[in-house]
A and B are shown apart, each in its own frame.
Chain A
Amino acid sequence: MVHDFTYPSVYFAYLFFALMFGLAVYFFIRSKHDGYWGERGEDAKYQMFEDDDTHRRVP
């Protein structure tokens, strides 16, 4: 008996698409909520210099 799993496997891939799309939408909204698009949206790029001066120490 021949089993053809083509459609279930394509639907499996679509499920992953939907899952990733849903997660992307969720985290995008979450990023707005967490202030990445607001007044303090540029803070993150300065934190890396305040917290770590590795780049200034050349062995």
Chain B
Amino acid sequence: MQPQFSKAEVAHAPEGALVHDDATAKWFLVSSVAYFFIVGIIAVLIAAKFVWPDLMGTMSWLTYGRLRPLHVNGMLFGWLLAADMGLAYYVIPRLCGVKLWSEKLGLATAALWNVIILGAVVTLLAGLNQGWEYAELPWYLDILVVVAWIMFGLNIFLTVATRKHQAMYVTIWYTMGCILWTAFVYLTGNFAVLFTTGTNQANLNWMYVHNAVGLIFTPIGLAIAYYFIPRASNTPLHSHKLSMVGFWSLAFVYVWTGAHHMIHGPISQWLQTIAIAFSVMLLIPVWAVVYNLFATMKGQWHQLRESVPLKFLLSGVVFYLLTCFQGPMHSLRTVSAIVSKTDWIPGHAHMAVLGCFSFFAIAGTYFAVPRIWGKPLHSQALANWSYWMLMIGGLGFFTTLWLGGFWQGWQWNNWSIPFIDTVIALRPIWIVRFVSGILMFIGIVMFAYNILATAMGANEEAAA
């Protein structure tokens, strides 16, 4: 057994211990937390615009059409994927029992990633937008994303290649799966669509959008949950074999589900049916994951009282179950006829990306940052408050949009109601959405301040 320490703990490390530098993880985590806060401001602004459409006048770069893609791309790539990559740089070397293959390559990746995100802020606000959901970035930034992803993948794969043990823990499987699947999903969604038109283009785009969640954020999110739930609870995973069932069923099933966004649209019925059938089959990997993680906590639930990372992780698992039950159900033709294109969809998407995967990333960040910097968390109480703000705000946001979405769908299905009346009717829903957004933003501010204060050593300054 070779003990492992972070560089900040090197003074306490015995001779022969493996000391992790973690420089890349630090850069990714700090920048992702900063983007979480900045893009959170954009999120509140666009929620306010639903209630007060004239807010901020007619300045083109502050219009809804420019701020919304910035919010989506900023949260997906500036916050969540960057945080996930930072946590992968922390987790994978520890699971492999070796140092990261190259910290220099990792730091170059972090620098390039920041260039991409800052480039996205400038181009999207300037209105340079490809016009496809989740693939709004201009082509030159897309190429930089591909380069950065190759650098990330190379570093992780070469670290895994030098691992101490032959057997790989499920977190390594999901991380490597994410790297391979992202390559395929991103290239298809951002480059193959350039050469298509009409229905085929829409179909490819929705395949990309759905697989961006299912084959990028799901595997890397589950990789984090599978590592940090046993770590934070100090309890081995319930079943590694069951985790393999979840991994392989996700690998075989997920890629075919994207066309369920086109139900009742101008695509062939057989393609719609395939998408529905595979969407329902998603219940297999989802239940394999959820049962495994809940069973790991058997006899350990009392730890939730004290551990903020566990609160976020297990709430994230519940949201994962809910969102992955919703997905197959609203892919059915009858349900889709009501909820498709309504506010239900952002309610569902936010529960997946915020309620589940962001909760996992927040938990991982709360766990890893004190250990990387070798300092206690700045404030446990603030961490606890950040959980409750994000949880209460999130629940308000999700449930309001589901109910509002159903209501909106029923109105749309009644042709005697003029469209503008359905917009006016939803104003109370959007007020609750805005208030919930404020609560979530307060939670983000508390989380970001706590993490940055920990990294910058606010406790030490107070003690001095």
Contact = CB atoms under 8 A, between A and B. Distances in A.
B204 A54 contact: no
Nearest to B371: A54
B97 interface: yes
B48 to A, nearest CB: 39
Interface string A21-41: 001100010010011110011
B248 A42 contact: no
Contacts of B241: 36-37, 41-42
Interface in A1-59: 4-6, 8-10, 12-13, 16-17, 19-20, 23-24, 28, 31, 34-37, 40-59
B10 to A, nearest CB: 13
B370 A9 contact: no
Interface residues of B, number: 54
A45 B240 contact: yes
Contact of A24 (B5, B170, B251): B251
A55 B75 CA distance: 29
A50 B196 contact: no
B403 interface: no
A51 B252 CA distance: 32
Contacts of B371: 54, 57, 59
Interface string B71-94: 000000000000000000000001
B166 A34 contact: yes
B367 to A, nearest CB: 8
A6 B195 contact: yes
Best-surrounded residue of A24, A43, A58 (most CB of chain B within 10 A) = A24
Contact of A41 (B181, B204, B240): B240
B164 interface: yes
Contact of A19 (B166, B184, B373): B184
B428 interface: no
Interface stretch (B228-236, B355-363, B408-416): B228-236
Contacts of B236: 45-46, 49
A46 B230 CA distance: 10
A47 to B, nearest CB: 5
Contacts of A53: 3-4
Nearest to B8: A59
Contacts of B198: 6
Contacts of B232: 55
A47 B196 contact: no
Interface in B152-202: 164-170, 180-181, 184, 187-188, 192-198, 200-201
Given A12-B192, A20-B181, A37-B241, A59 B370 contact: yes
Contact of A43 (B97, B167, B200, B239): B167
A36 B164 CA distance: 17
B324 interface: no
Given A51-B1, A57-B9, A44 B184 contact: no
A37 B241 CA distance: 6
Contacts of B131: none
Contacts of A8: 195
Interface of B: 1-6, 9, 94-95, 97, 164-170, 180-181, 184, 187-188, 192-198, 200-201, 204, 207, 227, 230-232, 234, 236-237, 239-241, 244, 248, 251-252, 255, 370-371, 373-376
29 contacts: A4-B197, A6-B196, A9-B195, A13-B192, A16-B187, A17-B255, A19-B184, A20-B180, A20-B181, A20-B255, A35-B167, A41-B240, A42-B239, A42-B241, A43-B167, A45-B169, A45-B230, A45-B240, A48-B231, A49-B230, A51-B97, A53-B3, A54-B5, A54-B94, A54-B231, A55-B234, A58-B370, A59-B370, A59-B373
Given A10-B196, A45-B237, 19 more contacts: A4-B197, A5-B196, A6-B200, A13-B192, A20-B181, A23-B180, A31-B248, A34-B166, A36-B167, A36-B241, A36-B244, A42-B240, A44-B165, A45-B169, A45-B240, A49-B230, A51-B4, A52-B4, A54-B231
Interface of A: 4-6, 8-10, 12-13, 16-17, 19-20, 23-24, 28, 31, 34-37, 40-59
